[in-house]
Structure 1
Amino acid sequence: MRRPSRPLLLAAVVLLALVASGIWYSQRQQAPAARTQTAIPVRVVSVAQQDVPRYASAIGSVLSLHSVEIRPQVEGVLTQVLVKEGQWVKEGDLLATLDDRAIRATLDQARAQLGQSQAQIQVAGVDLKRYRLLATDDGVSKQTLDQQQALVNQLQATVKGNQAAIANAEVQLSYTQIRSPVTGRVGIRNVDPGNLVRTSDTQSLFSVTQIDPIAVEFSLPQQMLPTLQSLLKAPTPAQVEAFMDADGERNPLGTGHLALIDNQISANTGTVRVKAEFDNKDGRLWPGQLVTIRLRTAMDENALVVPPPVVQRGVDGHFVYRLDGDKVTSVPVKVLYQDSGLNIIAGVKPGEKLVLDGQSRLKPGAKVEVATDAPPPAEMADRRSQP
């Protein structure tokens, strides 16, 4: 077998060297392109500065400030019901009447007895004067004079008893006209006219419930007791809002004020009962209704606020991604207050642009591209500026 010639071997070596050089050169040209960063699309929002109210939320029960079960105070036949179910009545309005004939007869009898006693005492008084004149000349004995004085005293007591009987009959007669003790709304009627009603009946005729103003009772943790006490001492009553929905944002039912704190804390639940009062002219709050309550506990003035998605949690605490040119920087922040709509933070400046969406792909120094559908900074501020 013939061995390859030396020139052929040299040519092969040179060819391999040229191929290797070409490959190395091409990889060197592609390396900068591979290292070029791709911009990550993000949405940003500006740090807003505004006054932010702080709230404490709870589930409350609507209570009437004054609800009365209308019951008879004397026995008798229910002759008339002068109001309809659901009717609004004022304090003092006539609601129903009872048969009063027997009580009127008793009143007339008491008045007649009073007249009889007054006539008797008139005669006894005249006799007493006569006996006193005769007693000066020993015309009658002292025993007769004393007996006549005792008779006059007895008749005077009888007159007072007759007057008391008349007053009692008049009170009983007034009970036959049932008047509303409060201003409110009439409930469902339980007894129809024509029925005999007694004071011992377990069922009332109907109820009258005050609707305006109205109260809401709710419970808060005992840790809030110092805050509640300071709110009660404040010159301006603390604002309380009632909502139909559990999220406390939609369907507002009314705005009231903190009225009182219960005089003890529940040992079983560690909560304190609180009551708020509401003007309820439109009747949107109804006794027995369950509502969501928001109690304003404080007001942070000129607070730096951002939407909750802006704030991220890391190993060392909370941080945000701040937009610096076309790159982002990780900035540690402190969360001072948070709720479902915003976070109050410290560590940034008003107007700085922070990343709102897309943080999962970011790291400090990453190049970003701001999406054009980013929300305007005033949108959040306008939405949350409503207390």
Structure 2
Amino acid sequence: MPDPAVSATSSRLRKRAFAAGGLVAVVGAGLALGEFGNSRGAAPPAAPAPVPVVTAQVERRDVPHWQDTIGTVTALNRATLRTQVDGVLTDVLFHEGQSVQRGQLLARIDDRAIRAGLDGAQARRARDAAQLSAAQSDLTRFRQLSGGQLIARQMLDQQASSVQQLQATAQDNQATIDAARVQLSYTRIVSPIAGRVGLRRVDPGNVVRTGDADGLVTVEQVDPISVVFALTQDQLPGLRRAQAGGAVQVQALDRDAGRLLAEGELRVIDNRIDETTGTVRLRAVFANAGDTLWPGQLVSVRVRTGADEDALTVASEALQRGVDGSFVYKVGADATVAAVPVKVGYQDSTLAVIVAAANALKPGDTVVRDGQSRLKPGTVVAAARPATAATSTAATAATATVMR
């Protein structure tokens, strides 16, 4: 027979197991009901936050066309002063770097030998002039006597020949004197142009010779001054058209800071295109009273080749390149963006001229200028206050984007 104690123990265990199972079932049901209730009452997922961007407005304005290149400042005229006679440099009458005028005396060479030669030539001229005067008087008397047949015709002819010889000698004397005076003038070295002298290459007391390659000093005309630069042959037709319409404006700018140094005009287009580089050289002339341009200086050059009047423009940064060409992101009234294909005409670092645009892009529309990398059509954006298309680079850097 079964043990009564064992039976009682088994009965208690079965009751406890049933109670524990019921408790687990109740808890499980409660959890399931709780999850079901939460799934029916949960809030929808949050919408993506607007993408922060910087915007610009589409505008109509007159847009000048500029071609950018690099140029070299050169003197409009340059002269190297060399001696034309051999001698000792006795005087230097200028300071290095000094501004000089045309005809100003800059140096002198010892002229004593040349002056002595001139004095001798003048003395010979005086002697021969006296002989010529006496011979002419004799010829006059011989002609009178010949009329009365008091002297032979041969004597008259000989005297006339003597007079002609003395006249030729007088002309030779005068030529010698003129040559000596020219040589004497070479001992005074004057500036042939107005400009600025450079570094002196010979000191007083040195012997200078006509064969010296370096010369005494150089003088460069710096006001006005010129800039020589090159443009590609493809730009030549537009440049010629601009030149036919009047003076072509040229700007010279500092290469580092982009600061405007001077404004001038195109003066010369070279008469041939360089076959090696496919470029043509040009010269522009600038007023330079303040010495802002210096010979040999490298400058950035901007040449105005035309203009678009009342053109539809956007900031150059707003342009994007796609598979089908250029486009801009236009911001709608609901702050969503749409990709608008555009055809670009003239473009520089600041502005782009739109010559054709789908969806009727018009003045006053807002386009995205910065932050396009995170955009696609339909994206909601949070934009800074619209800026004009002509906003400078400095202003662009200072513009604050709206963050989340």
Partner of 1:165: 176
CA distance in structure 1 between the partners assigned to 2:304 and 2:394 by the alignment: 17
Q: Is the 8 A contact 1:232 1:260 kept in 2?
A: no
Structure 1 gaps, min length 5: 1-11
Matched to 1:353, the amino acid is T
Cα distance change of structure 1 residues 264 and 148 upon mapping to structure 2, 3 Å threshold: same
For residues 172-251 of structure 1, the aligned pairs below 5 Å read: 172-235=183-246, 237-245=247-255, 250-251=258-259
Q: TM-score, normalised by structure 1?
A: 0.86
Counterpart among 92, 111, 115 of residue 100 in structure 1:
111
Cα distance change of structure 1 residues 294 and 28 upon mapping to structure 2, 3 Å threshold: farther
Q: Is the 8 A contact 1:40 1:361 kept in 2?
A: yes
CA distance in structure 2 between the partners assigned to 1:27 and 1:296 by the alignment: 69
Tell me the secondary structure at the aligned position of residue 159 of structure 2.
helix
Tell me the CA shift for residue 325 of structure 1. Answer: 1.5
The answer on 1:268 being equivalent to 2:276 is: yes
CA distance in structure 2 between the partners assigned to 1:184 and 1:204 by the alignment: 17
The answer on 1:312 being equivalent to 2:320 is: yes
Tell me the CA shift for residue 174 of structure 1. Answer: 1.1
Tell me the secondary structure at the aligned position of residue 194 of structure 1.
coil
CA distance in structure 1 between the partners assigned to 2:212 and 2:393 by the alignment: 59
CA distance in structure 2 between the partners assigned to 1:28 and 1:311 by the alignment: 47
Tell me the CA shift for residue 232 of structure 1. Answer: 2.7
Tell me the CA shift for residue 253 of structure 1. Answer: 1.9
Q: Is the 8 A contact 1:334 1:345 kept in 2?
A: yes
Cα distance change of structure 1 residues 230 and 309 upon mapping to structure 2, 3 Å threshold: closer
Deviations 1:164-209 (A, max 9, x none): 1111111111111111111111111111111111112223111111
Cα distance change of structure 1 residues 79 and 122 upon mapping to structure 2, 3 Å threshold: same
Deviations 1:136-185 (A, max 9, x none): 22211111111111111111111111111111111111111111111111
Partner of 1:69: 80
CA distance in structure 2 between the partners assigned to 1:314 and 1:365 by the alignment: 17
Tell me the secondary structure at the aligned position of residue 268 of structure 2.
strand
CA distance in structure 2 between the partners assigned to 1:358 and 1:176 by the alignment: 74
The answer on 1:277 being equivalent to 2:282 is: no
Counterpart among 142, 155, 174 of residue 166 in structure 2:
155
Q: Is the 8 A contact 2:64 2:304 kept in 1?
A: yes
Structure 2 gaps, min length 5: 1-24, 396-404
Q: Is the 8 A contact 2:233 2:279 kept in 1?
A: yes
Tell me the CA shift for residue 378 of structure 1. Answer: 7.2
Q: Is the 8 A contact 1:67 1:210 kept in 2?
A: yes
Tell me the secondary structure at the aligned position of residue 178 of structure 2.
helix
CA distance in structure 2 between the partners assigned to 1:27 and 1:294 by the alignment: 68
Q: Bigger radius of gyration, 1 or 2? A: 2
Q: TM-score, normalised by structure 2?
A: 0.83
Of residues 327-336 and 157-166 in structure 1, the stretch that sits farther from structure 2 once superposed is: 327-336
CA distance in structure 1 between the partners assigned to 2:344 and 2:390 by the alignment: 21
